[in-house]
Structure 1
Amino acid sequence: MLRWYRDAVKCYVYLSDVSTNDHDEVSASLQSWEPARRKSRWFTRGWTLQELLAPSSVEFFFSNGKQLDDKRSLERLLHEITGIAVPALQRAPLAEFSIHERMSWAK
């Protein structure tokens, strides 16, 4: 599956438990959405690791279909939530990271 995601042009992430209502505008500063994003069930799924590491482009969406942001702009937050090194999120070769570090990402 890692190869399948790596070959994908783009991966879409639907955060079914992170919402905003249609009257709210998603601001350039997404800090008001941060607590909900951090607690999203999506980060506890088995496929999350390969969906974050393999594709060059990942776009995140709220439950109502509005785009939240993309992997590149959320690198810091994704690192804080998952512990995955930012270079790994930027598609650095996995061999550059120790087995211990890679296994810690799967937790």
Structure 2
Amino acid sequence: SRLVKSGWTVQELIAPRNVLLFDQNWDFIYRKRDALHVLSAATGVPAQVLATRDLRQCSVARRMSWAVRRKTTRIEDGAYCLMGPFNILMLMLHGERCRPFFRIHLEILKNSTDDSILAWPMRSVDPFTYRGPLA
């Protein structure tokens, strides 16, 4: 469904203790606590994280992976929806397009000792196309 693919879904499912889920006709489907494994399979967020809301048990790279293939209306919202899972406060400037990805990576590096954010596969060894380890 669109809910599972939305960029904002991850923080909206993790942050609140109680979540009620409804279908497009506003018919109740289930509570978050009763569907942890279904939500985990759909989002990639471990059921334990959904239950405890404790993000410290997941590496930076793992948290970044939750944002992959998510859809947002604006390009920059793809970066802004990562602010919650990384507990980052950052000025949201619409119209920046891809720049917020670089800014959020820098904030993560400043605020974390976990360097797994740098563990990205290198697509090219051509020095003219390689741009460094950040997005």
TM-score (norm 2): 0.47
1:101 to 41, 45, 62: 62
Runs (4+) of structure 1 exceeding 4 A deviation are none
1:23-77 Cα distance to aligned partner (Å, 9 max, x none): xxxxxxxxxxxxxxxxx01111121011011000010011222100011111111
Instruction: Assess, with a 3 A threshold, how the Cα gap between structure 1 residues 45 and 92 changes in structure 2: closer, same or farther.
Output: closer
CA RMSD of aligned residues (A): 1.1
Alignment of 1:1-107 (within 5 A): 40-107=1-68
Give the deviation of 1:78 after TM superposition.
0.7
CA separation in 2, counterparts of 1:92 and 1:61? 21
Instruction: Assess, with a 3 A threshold, how the Cα gap between structure 1 residues 92 and 61 changes in structure 2: closer, same or farther.
Output: closer
Higher share in strand: 1
CA separation in 1, counterparts of 2:53 and 2:10? 14
Flag structure 1 segments of 5+ consecutive residues without an equivalent.
1-39
State the structure with more CA Rg. Answer: 2
SS in 2 for 1:81: helix
TM-score (norm 1): 0.59
Flag structure 2 segments of 5+ consecutive residues without an equivalent.
69-135
1:59·1:69 contact (CA, 8 Å) conserved in 2? yes
